[in-house]
Amino acid sequence: METTTLVEWLKASSASAWINERTWVWPLAEILHFIGLSLLVGATGFFDLRLMGFFRRVSIMAAKALMPLALIGFAINVLTGVVFLVGLPEQYAHNRMFWWKVAFIAVAGVNAAFFETRLAARVAVLDADADPPRTVKLVGAVSLVAWLAVLYCGRMLPFLGDAY
């Protein structure tokens, strides 16, 4: 399906109408989106800094035990993000900052998957306060930069994008 067709279909959907007919839905979704981003950036940022070699009094596996906070934040933001997208699809579908944001989320996702599948097992057997291998530090840095880029693209979307 072409993007335009999908946008038209979403715009005409009853879900879109439901969102737009209620004045409280959008502000509530925004509030939740900001709470979600705080949880995501806070917990992921701490874990990333640990991967980069800071906070070595905390083992990497212990720091990872805080990551459920990030997953909760991410889940909240996917759900509220879908509300925005369904509510005003034309505002995002043709907005380059939106697609940059999606791209950086993908980078963060692939990076996290790489850590889980290729590095997590190796990291688990490191000494608790060990200086992480260079690859692990790099994965931490990529994650930190990617999530800050996601935040930047999202917040700058109304100003740098081209759909308003």
Partner 1 sequence: MSELLASIEGSALAVWTRESTSIWAYPTILTLHTVGLAIVAGISAVVDARLLGLARQVPIAALGPLFRILWWGFALNFLTGVVLFTADATTKSSQTTFWIKIGLIALALVVTQRVSRLVHGDDAPDGRGRLLAVLSLVLWTAAIIAGRLLAYV
Residues at the site binding partner 1, with contacts judged by CB under 8 A:
27, 30-31, 34-35, 37-43, 45-46, 54-55, 57-59, 61-63, 65-66, 68-69, 148, 151-152, 155-156, 158-160
Least distance CB 43 / partner 1 (angstroms): 6
| Integer Cα distance of 150 and 89 in angstroms | 19
Phi and psi angles of residue 2, each rounded to the nearest 5 degrees, phi first: -70, 155
Q: Considering beta carbons, is residue 10 or 70 the nearer one to partner 1?
A: 70
| Integer Cα distance of 99 and 157 in angstroms | 10
| Integer Cα distance of 77 and 2 in angstroms | 25
Q: Considering beta carbons, is residue 66 or 138 the nearer one to partner 1?
A: 66
Q: Considering beta carbons, is residue 93 or 148 the nearer one to partner 1?
A: 148
Least distance CB 14 / partner 1 (angstroms): 25
**∠ CA 60-61-64, rounded to 5°:** 90
Least distance CB 54 / partner 1 (angstroms): 8
Least distance CB 68 / partner 1 (angstroms): 7
| Integer Cα distance of 4 and 93 in angstroms | 8
